[in-house]
A and B are shown apart, each in its own frame.
Chain A
Amino acid sequence: MSHLSKLLQNPQLWRSGRRNQAAGHNSIGTGLRRLDQALHSRGWPLAGSTELLCDHFGLGELSLLTPALAQLSQQQAIVWLNPPFKPYAPALQQAGINLEHCLFVHCNGLSDQLWAAEELLRATAFAAVLNWSDNSKLADRDLRRLQLAAREQQCWHIHFRAAATAQQSSPAPLRIGLTSQNKQLQLNVLKQAGGPAGQQLLIARAAHLLHEQKPPEYWPQHTGNSKSRLLLARLPRVKTPLDAGVELH
């Protein structure tokens, strides 16, 4: 009997119908209430790999992480390994990220990148490692090494990979596919620890980005009536029934 209870205590054992309590222990809020609810860990897991699968940049994939990164970067360092573009420091600072705790690493070649990623994950000096390996084919063995390093050293490994790799199996406990759907960011949870996966969420982009300027025919007109005032066009408000009050910057 004691064996069974010991087995039930094991956080790695998935039990259907019951949310894993231990999984929520080591996590950080995403800043989005609905996403927190969708994830069994109640936020981003702070140990292990999190795979974000997307083919395009500019969908809001980084803004999804900035609330958590901003919180982490206040105390601990964050590494950006091989980002696809240059960061724009004023925007990062505006998002609340402490620039002094950001370290950018650039390397050429897959072997160097894998080596650097593992060194960084094993260093136990960083809270998070953001790793972009765009189209490179990673062997299951390499992914497992990174996941193990991240889990053992309690480091959050955020791995951006191409959407096509969703078909390939991966040892990462959390995998999310990112696509753009009707001006919104669609999250498709492919896999997550501690419960069933398959959740789909739509997250709106920040309204000030999507604010559309109207062509002249929609502009306020003076009707000629002495009594009537200028008819002010209302600002378009992006509002979907799925999310209310959720904004991304």
Chain B
Amino acid sequence: MWLYVRFPLLLLDREPGAGVAINEPQALLAQRSILEANRAAQAAGIRPGQSLTTARSLCPGLQCRAPCADRMQKQLEQLALWAYRFTSELCLTPEGLLLNVAGSLKLFNGFLPLYRRFQWGFRKRRIPAVYGLGHSPLAAELVSHSTTDISTLLNEHGLLDKNAVIHLLNNLPVKYLPCEDKHQQQLATLGLQTIGAVNALPHAALTRRFGPPFSTLLNRLYGIEADPRKTFRPPDYFYSERQFNGSLTRAEELRFPIAALLGELDYFLQLKQWVNRHMDWQFRYCDGQSDTLSMPVSHQHVDRRRLLRLVLLKLEKFTLQGPVDALILQCHRFEPVAQRNDELFQHSAVFDHQRHERYLAVLDKLEARLGENSVWQPALCNEHLPEQTTTQRHPLANTPYSARAESTTRPLWLLPEAYHLREQDGIPCWYKPLQLLQGPERIDNQWWQQRQVRDYYIARADSGALCWVYRDCLQQRWYLHGLFG
């Protein structure tokens, strides 16, 4: 039982263009004749098959463009990803999607509920879709050309009525048969108007006249021969976009499209049992410029609402450069979902998973608002100079803590940069003269790079603060380097 969905206006309604509003007349052009026209153009009297001159005279403001197979394919792949939830047996055709729904009927309580969900999904996205139903892939494709409602092809049990499909196919005009133009003309000269009339002829004669592929086509159409198709596999990366055709100017208006894109991402990740580590947002403006907003995420489970809050937090500090034409979400880096075991006894837990998840969540929030480098952890480093022993690392970095601190008298605070102290009668002054308590402890090092000779002293300031000062023996200057907090 095959369901076919054809999207006649997919390219017209969704082609990006500078400031082109969706309600202007547009048409697709192939070999100087109209292939497809959108609603506005159809209202102006433009019909497929008209020549360009006729169309131009009917509607002077008509915008024409050539069909783009690549773009169509990309759009279809995006739709296929959504439709993948209904069945895994899904094929892409040049014009639409083909689904074998036979295996999904029980899951969706029969064909009609599934069909309704399908219709609702496309109506919500404002994508015009034409449906066809058949017992073979080709039959479903051809039935989509007829104007009959496909629910009439079902029997009283809600299953496909094969005879009704064959009856419908028999009455379809020959022009819908996907065969060469030469054969179409030959069929016309033979006086064959419907597909049924062609099928009624002896197949041996048809093979002789039109070649073996033609009779295979008919056999496949009527379900006599198998019709293997290449099924669609969801890609290993996530890409989705929303078109606004320049109608969106404020960042607040992005909330709903962002939520919808995150919903798609959530579904994709669930499908793959993955979590993403990165989100790349791209705002494409009408003038062809674009802005990117990339944000790292460190969650362990995808929570759509939490992600939405994070993105909105990031957007607070982001100003749009102009009207937005398209919003694109891409994700390339994924990790498999970490399965964790819960403890049988609550209190015996050594590692609190929930606490760790909350920790990761607040980390994401901080990074989204304060910037990526604003959150760090100190790490020890085996260096000789005091300022080089502490390095900053990202909280989720996997570098092990190997170095051990030696036990010497060291301050808890270190100044970001050593502060040059004034000297008065050989005594360093920090506002007032410092009282040197003990020292020196000499650090003479880095001779292979830039020799440092420092004599460190512990000194007492007038305020009572204990300072860590050093005299640079090469420069003969005093510096304040730390505080015993």
Partner of B464, one of A59, A62, A103: A59
User: What residues of chain A lie closer than 8 Å to B390, measured between beta carbons?
Assistant: 86-90
How many angstroms between the C-alpha atoms of A120 and B359 in the bound complex?
9
The reply to whether A93 and B463 contact each other, CB–CB distance below 8 Å, is no
Secondary structure class of chain B's binding surface, majority of residues: mixed
How many angstroms between the C-alpha atoms of A126 and B359 in the bound complex?
8
The reply to whether B406 and A90 contact each other, CB–CB distance below 8 Å, is yes
Instruction: List the interface of chain B (C-beta within 8 A of A).
Output: 355-356, 358-359, 361-363, 365-366, 369-370, 374-380, 386, 389-390, 392, 395, 401, 404-407, 409-416, 437-439, 458, 460-461, 463-467, 482-485
The reply to whether A88 and B464 contact each other, CB–CB distance below 8 Å, is no
- Does A22 count as interface, using CB distance less than 8 angstroms? no
- Does A104 count as interface, using CB distance less than 8 angstroms? yes
Partner of B376, one of A57, A104, A183, A212: A104
The reply to whether A93 and B437 contact each other, CB–CB distance below 8 Å, is no
- Does A197 count as interface, using CB distance less than 8 angstroms? no
User: What residues of chain B lie closer than 8 Å to A87, measured between beta carbons?
Assistant: 378, 390, 412-414
Task: Tell me, rounded to whole Å, the shortest Cβ–Cβ distance linking A114 to chain B.
Answer: 12
How many angstroms between the C-alpha atoms of A16 and B284 in the bound complex?
68
Partner of A213, one of B358, B437, B463, B465: B437
- Does A56 count as interface, using CB distance less than 8 angstroms? yes
User: What residues of chain A lie closer than 8 Å to B467, measured between beta carbons?
Assistant: 58
**A118-139 with Cβ < 8 A to chain B:** 119-120, 123-126
How many angstroms between the C-alpha atoms of A112 and B370 in the bound complex?
8
How many angstroms between the C-alpha atoms of A90 and B369 in the bound complex?
30
Q: Would you give 19 A-B contacts (Cβ < 8 Å), ordered by A?
A: A58-B461, A59-B465, A59-B485, A63-B412, A85-B413, A85-B485, A86-B416, A87-B390, A91-B405, A91-B410, A91-B412, A99-B401, A103-B377, A105-B374, A107-B374, A112-B369, A125-B361, A180-B464, A205-B484
The reply to whether B362 and A89 contact each other, CB–CB distance below 8 Å, is no
Task: Given A105-B370, A209-B409, A209-B466, answer yes or no on A92-B485 (Cβ-Cβ < 8 Å).
Answer: no
The reply to whether B414 and A86 contact each other, CB–CB distance below 8 Å, is yes
How many angstroms between the C-alpha atoms of A84 and B395 in the bound complex?
20
- Does A100 count as interface, using CB distance less than 8 angstroms? yes
- Does A145 count as interface, using CB distance less than 8 angstroms? no
User: What residues of chain B lie closer than 8 Å to A179, measured between beta carbons?
Assistant: 464
The reply to whether A91 and B411 contact each other, CB–CB distance below 8 Å, is yes
The reply to whether A58 and B380 contact each other, CB–CB distance below 8 Å, is no
The reply to whether A88 and B374 contact each other, CB–CB distance below 8 Å, is no
With A57-B483, A123-B361, A211-B437 already in contact, 19 other A-B pairs whose C-beta atoms are closer than 8 Å = A56-B465, A58-B485, A60-B466, A63-B412, A63-B484, A66-B412, A85-B485, A88-B390, A88-B414, A94-B405, A100-B377, A102-B378, A104-B392, A115-B369, A116-B369, A116-B370, A123-B362, A205-B484, A209-B409
Task: Tell me, rounded to whole Å, the shortest Cβ–Cβ distance linking B149 to chain A.
Answer: 55
